[in-house]
Amino acid sequence: MKDQFFAAANTGRGFESDFPEIFSPEKFKRIYIIKGGPGTGKSTFMKKLGEEAARRGHAVGYCYCSSDVSSLDGVIIKELSVAVIDGTAPHTTDPIYPGACEVILNFGEAFDLASLALKRAEIERATRLASEHYRRAYRALESAKAFFDGEMTAARGAFLHKKAERYVSRLFSQAPPGEITYRRTKTVCRRGEYRLPIALCGERIIAVPHYHGVGRLILSAAAEYAKNHGLSATIYRDALCPDVPDAVICGGVCLIAEGEDVDSAEKKLNPRRFADEYLMRAERGYARLCEKLGRDALLCAVSELGEAGRYHDELEKIYVQNTDFSVIDKMLEATKREVFEKSGVKNRKSD
């Protein structure tokens, strides 16, 4: 399975970006930063470069756009120590070591400037309306997070933390010491809550049902145990509540929040085992209300993200009609030569 992740996400704390950490110039010999408007082929450029790298036998990491999961925000060719990223808002990226590490690919060179000037009023209108709908979406996401946090607070009083910790210690008994790696494979977008497939290497998969917030507490206990005991683990952040794990991989086991896309689980955990049923009954009404209100707020956010996406689509149409893509094609061929022919690393597959 190819490595897929988000370097940013729409969350209950607003838009969060991991670009400075993931695409730090200290981690790469060369970073290509694309600057250009919507619809100018940034994602297509990166896809084609990634496809060429894969054809030559290199492993490729694909960073997807958190608002439009069919598009890319970046690609990483680790063996060549190369990354190509979208350096435009909302994850604006500028060079720290211009030329020595980062190179700007200016897609603005392909613009029909005279025609775009005539479209200025339309561009300003669509940009302003998209921004307003994003602001509304983030307010709704903040509300949704508050309700889901309330649900977890209610569940915490009934949660049997020690029992959960003992269970996790058995699961992770074969885990080697090491560092914690954080990844994002979930976001909230116009499609709703969206999860990219998690790359697994033979781990046992155990699905953790929600059960009024108890499932979130079990995953949090697993992440806490790995951190406190210095274990090598990968913790996947939840989209809506980034402080809560969506999945934890440690010691050959993947604990993952149950969802429609978790169909290869070895087993489904029974979260009732980790809750005092008497106390849960006392909190169940409040927890259910919080969950319902949280889901309603989430639906509102998804609707607003859809409206923002609609105006973004309008901007894309304008720029598509006023961009000379032959200029960008030449940039792609020049970049391919730099990346693959001047890297000094031999292809793993013959051309």
Q: Range with the lowest mean pLDDT among 24-33, 89-98, 190-199?
A: 190-199
Q: Grade residue 38 by pLDDT with cuts at 50, 70 and 90.
A: very high
Residue whose pair of structure tokens reads 């499609």 in the numeric block: 191
Do 25 and 81 belong to one domain?
Answer: yes
Task: Give domain status of residue 302, yes or no.
Answer: no
Q: Is residue 62 within 8 Å of residue 50, measured between CB atoms?
A: yes
Q: Is residue 230 within 8 Å of residue 170, measured between CB atoms?
A: no
Q: What is the pLDDT of residue 129?
A: 98
Q: Output the CA–CA distances (angstroms, integers) from residue 269 to 100, 152, 170, 239, 258, in the order listed.
A: 51, 18, 14, 22, 9
Residue 260 has pLDDT above 90, yes or no: no
Task: Give domain status of residue 304, yes or no.
Answer: no
Task: Give domain status of residue 72, yes or no.
Answer: yes
Q: Grade residue 23 by pLDDT with cuts at 50, 70 and 90.
A: very high
Name the CA radius of gyration of the chain, rounded: 22
- Kindly state the average pLDDT of the residues 139-145: 97
Do 193 and 262 belong to one domain?
Answer: yes
The tokens of 36 are what? Answer: 């250009």
Residue 351 has pLDDT above 50, yes or no: no
State the total domains in the chain: 2
Of 238, 253, 275, the one marking the end of a domain is 275
Rounded distance, CA 347 to CA 48, Å? 17
Do 261 and 171 belong to one domain?
Answer: yes
The tokens of 60 are what? Answer: 């490729």
Task: Give domain status of residue 166, yes or no.
Answer: yes
* Nearest C-alpha neighbor of 42 from the set 93, 79, 78: 93
Do 199 and 104 belong to one domain?
Answer: no
Residue 70's SS3 state is coil
- Residue 243, C-beta contacts closer than 8 angstroms, at least 6 positions apart: none
Q: How many CB atoms lie within 10 A of CB 120?
A: 9
Cα dihedral: 170, 172, 178, 184 (round 10): -140
Share the mean pLDDT of the chain.
93
Residue 342 has pLDDT above 80, yes or no: no
pTM value > 0.75 = yes
Of 218, 244, 275, the one marking the end of a domain is 275
Rounded distance, CA 320 to CA 329, Å? 14
Task: Give domain status of residue 284, yes or no.
Answer: no
Residue 36 has pLDDT above 60, yes or no: yes
Domain span including residue 21:
3-111+324-341
- Kindly state the average pLDDT of the residues 302-327: 97
* End-to-end alpha carbon distance in the chain: 23
Residue 315 has pLDDT above 90, yes or no: yes
Do 165 and 261 belong to one domain?
Answer: yes
Q: What is the pLDDT of residue 15?
A: 93
DSSP string covering 247-310, please? Answer: EEEETTEEEEE--TT----SEE--GGGGB-HHHHHHHHHHHHHHHHHHHHHHHHHHHHHHHHHH
Q: Is residue 71 within 8 Å of residue 88, measured between CB atoms?
A: no
Q: Is residue 90 within 8 Å of residue 17, measured between CB atoms?
A: yes
What region, left, alpha or beta, does residue 175 occupy, with left being phi > 0 and alpha being psi -120 to 50 degrees?
A: beta
Rounded distance, CA 207 to CA 199, Å? 16
* Nearest C-alpha neighbor of 37 from the set 99, 109, 144, 96: 109
The tokens of 21 are what? Answer: 């950490």
Task: Give domain status of residue 305, yes or no.
Answer: no
Do 270 and 163 belong to one domain?
Answer: yes
Do 268 and 336 belong to one domain?
Answer: no
Q: Output the CA–CA distances (angstroms, integers) from residue 113 to 104, 324, 348, in the order listed.
A: 20, 11, 43
Task: Give domain status of residue 125, yes or no.
Answer: no
Task: Give domain status of residue 120, yes or no.
Answer: no
Do 105 and 176 belong to one domain?
Answer: no
Do 245 and 168 belong to one domain?
Answer: yes
Of 251, 275, 299, the one marking the end of a domain is 275
Residue 344 has pLDDT above 90, yes or no: no
Q: Is residue 98 within 8 Å of residue 32, measured between CB atoms?
A: no
